[in-house]
Structure 1
Amino acid sequence: SYRPISLLSCLGKIFEKLLESRMALHTFNNNIIPKSQFGFRPSLSTTHQLHRVTNNIVHNRCNRKSTGLALLDTEKAFDSIWHQGLLSKLIKLNFPSYLINIVNSFISNRQNKVHILNSTSSTYTPKAGVPQGS
């Protein structure tokens, strides 16, 4: 599966990191991400989540209780993000308007080209998805 990656300049990477830290601060201060979700949270990883789940299974087994587990992995999640839906979520979650405007300018009217070997496609504007690769 081929998917586009974004190659940012050094200045672009710095700007993206600043944007990420501002958005993470708002997310943390407003308890937007549930404590049970370990992705996108500092000092937590899938290993921590696996340990937590394993402990719950062992605890329930010792107490003769059953345990159910549902896992969700959205295929091509970054490629299929609906721009208007993302902006609506940011508004609903009370992100500051300046951050919403920055995200809007970052995802709107992007132009892509595909380069394979010595061939380059014509420019196209993706209707969904967000840049990845920085």
Structure 2
Amino acid sequence: MLLFICNKILQTGVWPKSWTQSIFITLPKKGSLKLCQNYRTIGLISHPNKIMLKAILNRLKPEAEKIMADEQAGFRPGRSTLEHICNIRILMEKYLQYQQELHNVFMDFKKAFDRVWHEALRSTMRKYNINSNLISVIENMYNKATRAVFCNNKIRDWFRTTVGVRQGCLLSQTLFKIFLERILTDALEDHFGTVSIGGKPITNLRFADDIDGLAGNECELANLVKQVDKASSNFGMETSAEKTKIMTYSKESSKKERKINGQILECVTKFNNLGSIISDEGSKPEILSRIAQTTAALTKLKPIWNNKNMVVNSNSNSKIRLLCSLVV
């Protein structure tokens, strides 16, 4: 029966009503619970719907892979954060060695996934020649999608939205990357970067919505930020000046902030990018941080090392197995 329904959706594009509904629950965060911003919302969708979404995702991913730039490493087969971390460290060492300027701008969008404009998403998929049947199925799902908030043990009124990818939907990450690809393609169309990796000019490194813009001088940096701001606003997106940070690898730079495109952007000396601490002095802070984390973890195991009842007399000894797992 489930297979019949899924095939029918692919053929006609018509979705069961319950499969297009999302119920939102709220989870408290730190701070005063009287403030709305101190709650995190989670969207719940039906399990049969997720099976259908997985089938669509398997068809959508190969289409999306054809249009993704090499700079995008987020949630792609054979890609991870390691490549970008390695690339930025190699660039950093190269520019520091030759005493050249290298500017990083870590850009952040305000409510990125919640501001994807549905109509622009549809036109973007058509522009990239994604399978028309897939577009129709996804379009019909969003046209009928409704949401409700679960509050005080009661489901409130259902409502529709015209922006934002569905929370909890398996397609959301891929749809967002397609949408972001359109924005950055438009933004970088007339932008010429001077930074290169292996002889190939590179203007940014990105993992989903985490964007690290690269520039060889301040004018190039300002132009990059302006172009991304302009293209983003054309598609209903907005960069966050508060969360966007600039880092410069240069002995002469000592600015605490820069004004670009009418916005004040903070200059930082270190930044946690993709789980790795990057600093304007090189990799030393990251190395020290990892040594400290390792030392703290091993210190917690001190009672095991000092336990005389755990005798080293066989291959099954806990101390030996622990040593092998940590060191060998």
Residue in structure 2 matched with residue 21 of structure 1 by the alignment:
58
Residue in structure 2 matched with residue 109 of structure 1 by the alignment:
144
Are positions 1:8 and 2:46 aligned together? yes
Cα drift, residue 106 of structure 1: 1.8
CA contact (8 A) 1:87 1:100 kept: yes
Letter in 1 for 2:121: L
Instruction: Choose the corresponding residue for 2:86, options 27, 30, 51.
Output: 51
CA contact (8 A) 1:113 1:121 kept: yes
Give, in whole Å, the separation in 2 of the partners of 1:25 and 1:57. Answer: 34
The structure in which a higher percent of residues are strand is 2
Cα drift, residue 4 of structure 1: 4.8
Give, in whole Å, the separation in 2 of the partners of 1:71 and 1:58. Answer: 19
In the superposition, relative to structure 1, how do residues 6 and 120 fare at CA in structure 2: closer, same or farther (>3 Å)?
closer
In the superposition, relative to structure 1, how do residues 119 and 6 fare at CA in structure 2: closer, same or farther (>3 Å)?
closer
Residue in structure 1 matched with residue 107 of structure 2 by the alignment:
72
Instruction: Choose the corresponding residue for 1:96, options 115, 119, 131.
Output: 131
Letter in 2 for 1:15: M
Q: After the TM superposition, which parts of structure 1 deviate over 6 Å for at least 4 consecutive aligned residues?
A: none
Quick check: which has more Rg, 1 or 2? 2
Query: Any idea what the Cα deviations from partners look like across 1:30-59, whole Å, max 9, x if unmatched?
Result: 3x1111121132232234322221221112
Give, in whole Å, the separation in 2 of the partners of 1:47 and 1:40. Answer: 13
Give, in whole Å, the separation in 1 of the partners of 2:108 and 2:152. Answer: 32
In the superposition, relative to structure 1, how do residues 42 and 73 fare at CA in structure 2: closer, same or farther (>3 Å)?
farther
Q: 5+ residue gaps in structure 2?
A: 1-36, 170-328
SS class of match (1:112): strand
Are positions 1:86 and 2:144 aligned together? no
TM-score (norm 2): 0.37
Residue in structure 1 matched with residue 307 of structure 2 by the alignment:
none
Letter in 2 for 1:25: P
Give, in whole Å, the separation in 2 of the partners of 1:102 and 1:55. Answer: 44
Letter in 2 for 1:6: L
In the superposition, relative to structure 1, how do residues 119 and 13 fare at CA in structure 2: closer, same or farther (>3 Å)?
closer
Residue in structure 1 matched with residue 160 of structure 2 by the alignment:
125
CA contact (8 A) 1:112 1:123 kept: yes
The share of aligned pairs that are identical, in percent, is 24
Cα drift, residue 63 of structure 1: 2.3
- Name whichever of 102-111 and 71-80 sits farther off: 71-80
Give, in whole Å, the separation in 1 of the partners of 2:118 and 2:93. Answer: 42
Give, in whole Å, the separation in 2 of the partners of 1:62 and 1:33. Answer: 32
In the superposition, relative to structure 1, how do residues 45 and 22 fare at CA in structure 2: closer, same or farther (>3 Å)?
same
Give, in whole Å, the separation in 1 of the partners of 2:151 and 2:100. Answer: 55
Give, in whole Å, the separation in 2 of the partners of 1:8 and 1:44. Answer: 30
**Superposition RMSD on alpha carbons, in Å?**
1.8
